[in-house]
Structure 1
Amino acid sequence: MREIFKFRPVSFSWVAIHPEPKGVIQFIGGAFFGTFPTVFYRYFLQELFEEGYTIIALPFRFSFRHWSIAIDLLKEQEVLRQELSEIASRLGYRQDVYQDKANYFWLGHSLGCKYIALLEFLSGEHWKQITESCVERNAYQQIETTISNAGLESASILAQPSLLIAPDISNTESAIPIRAIARFLDRVGLGVLPTREQTQCFIERSQLFNLTAMISFDKDTLAGSENDQFKDKQIRENSDVLWLIEQLKTRKFPILHKELPGKHLEPLGVRAGNYIVDLNPFDKFIKSLRCRMLEGYATQFLAQLRLRQSKIEDDSEPIKTVTTNLGNPELSKL
């Protein structure tokens, strides 16, 4: 059956339904660009679609209350599971894949990765005890009330793999670069919640994050890079990429990671002939597709995460390394 890459509105998302899906990718991008994911991330999402995935593009909603956004993403997944089955049935496509939660992947870029990390944390059985130890009592009560009002006490993304691209565990200063204003908002309780420090506390004390992969970029000054380990103390402390590598490398299944050439907005772009145009004059703007490795590594990491997922289900099977011939010798080094 011929694959037709076409986004259609479903619930609050945009969905490209694959006729023979091997999985479902739920994508959320970064601030501003993630508001129009079908435009700014079009090439990236189309390449993943052509690899055999149904794509759900979740438009970014700006707010300083990151808990509520993360929980809304979980609510959307529950709605879409039923909607996608019905649409696939009408189109004569495979529909069985949509009912099994294990077939869903989470993929984020920049701030979108923070929401995915919060959902992963909430999927652990000890999240309440950990939250109480990481935040003030009144903040914990607000979180519990938000989840209770959403009716999602038993819902989770447990055993659903996550691929984080240039993750930004945002603080108020990331959204408002004027430090005095950002600090004032934090003092009066109107800043970003959870804070970067609180989110790190959640991840550090959680037993999850075993099905996590990350792609970073060597010239990324927002999320950071693994090269930050050689820089001064302030840069090291502000590097979310470096912190996640250090924190998740000792898990039962260490984080899968690859650093590629590029800047923070590398995933953006639409195809123009043999070039990728990222619609951002402050980044690369235009680049030859022959130099682009992001989609190849993303596809391989998704396959490896699937193997880890089956390893968790059946601990008797050894994990195998997946390699794919994509015409680029660099990919064989994964």
Structure 2
Amino acid sequence: MINNNSNDVKLSKFRDPEENFCFKAFSHSWVAINPHPKGIIQFIGSFVFGSFPINSYKYLFQNLFAQGYTIFVFRFPLTPLKFDHWKVATNLLKEEYTLRVEIIRFLTQNGKTSHNHLEIYLNDSNYYWLGHSLGCKYISLLEILSNDCEQRKLILQNSLGNRYNQKLIALLDSVDMIREKAEQEISELLSKPISINKYFIQDQPSILLAPEISNTVTINRINIPKNKPLSNFELLVSPNARETKRMITQSTNLFNLTGVISFAQDCIAKDDVTFLVQQLSLRRFLPPFHKESFGWHFEPNGIQIEYLGTCINQIFAELTQR
């Protein structure tokens, strides 16, 4: 069982001998390296459960690993007072860049993979995103930031007003710095030039499980009139639910590689699922990928997840064909 407070690659492991399933700690995350990967799933979970993801989503991870995926597992911020959601989202991408370097270094130094398998980790389109509940908001923010610079600037200005400020611009610039550093380090490891897509998660499929893009688990269950001034709490959260939905609505060229899986007995994410599915129906590729399954909001934390795992695999396979 993983010690969540340890970054020691050698000691931090969870093993399933029958499936050769093993999580190792790299950087601030955990990675299950599949010996024959067909893709890399990057996972961010829900509030609370996502802070202890290895135990909370154990059976889902086992299922996805058995279907051929390497899995990157990011930790959801443990504190509920994490109001800067831009920082959380961009930190995910910085962590991904760091993990690319660490995994490629580990594989090359330990002779753990063939040349063909190593190439999978060098192709941006082989990195998939999987979120659950509020973790889906961070993936949605990365998608919003994935347009070209001018279009992104326009969307942010229109949606955020004066909250599109130097602090956010500096945060985006810091992502570019980490990406460029990762490119240099991987190039040195492999002795050949390597480039990483500078448009965030563009061309990377994503699946949102019971997506909840509100500000916290409970506060946004209250419907706020569209033209009502922002409350003090909304002003603390950046971006808040209203701004996030506005940016998604304006990102007409994005979310073409996004799928949604919802659950029939889920009352927490119901409104956000309706909004996102409606938005996906307006995108270029039709019909939208939306699957509704029996269960409740925390179904991905359960034991019987065979159907869910199969559904995730099928949707990723279809999204990659677009």
TM category, shorter: 0.7 to 0.9
Paired residues, what number?
271
Q: Does the aligned pair in 1 maintain the 2:265–2:294 contact within 8 Å?
A: yes
Does structure 1 residue 71 correspond to structure 2 residue 90?
yes
- Alignment match, 2:201: 157
Matched, 1:82 2:101: yes
- Give me the whole-angstrom Cα distance separating, in 1, the residues matched to 2:44 and 2:138: 9
Tell me the alpha carbon deviations over residues 129-164 of structure 1, each in whole angstroms, 9 at most, x when there is no partner. Answer: 111001122444332122224445945111000010
Question: For the residues of structure 2 that align with 1:213 and 1:138, how far apart are their CA atoms?
Answer: 29
- Alpha-carbon deviation of 1:175? 5.7
Aligned to 1:107: 130
Where has structure 1 moved over 6 Å in runs of 4 or more? 176-179
Aligned to 1:261: 294
Q: Any gaps of 5 or more consecutive residues in structure 2?
A: 1-17, 180-197
Question: Superposed, which structure 2 residues align to 1:113-128 within 5 Å?
Answer: 113-125=136-148, 126-128=151-153
1:106-143 deviations in Å (ceiling 9; x for gaps):
00000111100100110101111111001122444332
1:304 aligns with 2:322: no
RMSD: 2.5
Structure number with higher relative contact order (C-alpha < 8 Å, ≥ 6 residues apart): 2
Per-residue CA shift, 1:191-244, capped at 9, x if unaligned?
3210111111111111110001110001111101xxxxxxxxxxxxxx000011
| Alpha-carbon shift at residue 87 of structure 1 (Å) | 1.8
Q: 1:243 aligns with which of 272, 275, 282?
A: 275
Map 1:12-161 to 2 at 5 A: 12-61=28-77, 62=79, 63-89=82-108, 90-93=110-113, 94-125=117-148, 126-152=151-177, 154-161=198-205
- Using a 3 Å threshold, how does the CA distance of structure 1 residues 201 and 38 change in structure 2: closer, same or farther? same
2:221 and 2:280 map into 1 onto residues whose CA distance is 29
How many percent identity over aligned positions? Answer: 43
Secondary structure of the equivalent of 1:95?
Answer: helix
- Report which stretch shifted further, 149-158 or 193-202: 149-158
Q: 3-state DSSP class of the match of 2:61?
A: helix
Residue pairs, 1:206-221, within 5 angstroms? 206=251, 207-221=253-267
**Contact 2:145–2:200 (CA<8 Å) still a contact in 1?**
yes
Distance across 1 between alignment mates of 2:233 and 2:55:
37
Give the SS at the match of 1:39: helix
Q: What TM-score comes out, normalization by structure 1 length?
A: 0.75
Q: Which runs of 5+ in 1 are unaligned?
A: 225-238, 270-275, 277-288, 309-334
- TM-score, structure 2 length as denominator? 0.78
CA contact (8 A) 2:145 2:199 kept: no
Tell me, in whole angstroms, the C-alpha distance in 1 between the residues paired with 2:21 and 2:161: 47
Distance 2:279 2:262 in 1: 15
Q: Is the 8 A contact 2:93 2:175 kept in 1?
A: no
CA distance in 2, matches of 1:256, 1:116: 17
